[in-house]
Amino acid sequence: MPTKTTRSKAVCYIVRDGQLLVFRHLDSSIEEDGIQVPAGTIQAGEDPEHAALREAREETGLTELSVVRKLGVAQYDITPYRPEIQQRHFFHLALHQETPERWLSQEDHDGTGQPTRFECFWIPLEQGHVLQSGQGALLANLLDE
């Protein structure tokens, strides 16, 4: 079995009026990638809070975001997808702009030539259990507010 690497990730819960912002990948099946919240790798030397805001902006196209608070840290082993342990930093983000109920977004990747396309939409917070790969692990911490 390959050695597992550990990566630090930022996971974003953007909440508005009891709704959670989620997305699905447009270029792969829902069975493969599921329903997700904005999340991604914390770059070397990057503050987790900054990474959360950057990832949320990159994946949703939204620009007027702020951190409400850090909700905690949890580990997630994504094996067998790949041999990796993710140290996930969860953040509650506030949105300070209007959005439609659904919109398309894309994240451009350096050097790949192909953007990752998303459909963003809102679901009731209590339906957050549908999030893939343990992304909903700290949703209950939002109820403490």
Domains of the chain with CATH codes = 5-144 (3.90.79.10)
Q: Which of 9, 17, 1 is nearest to 134 (CA)?
A: 9
Let me know: does 10 contact 40? Beta carbons within 8 Å: yes
Using CA atoms, how far residue 50 sits from 9, 35, 44, 145, in Å, is 11, 23, 12, 22
Q: How confident is the model at residue 140 (pLDDT cuts 50, 70, 90)?
A: very high
pLDDT score, position 105: 96
Q: How confident is the model at residue 143 (pLDDT cuts 50, 70, 90)?
A: confident
Asked if the model's pLDDT at residue 61 lies above 90, the reply is yes
Let me know: does 48 contact 69? Beta carbons within 8 Å: no
pLDDT score, position 119: 97
96 secondary structure, DSSP code: -
34-45 pLDDT per residue, tens: 999 999 999 999
For residue 128, give both structure tokens. 């957050």
Q: How confident is the model at residue 91 (pLDDT cuts 50, 70, 90)?
A: very high
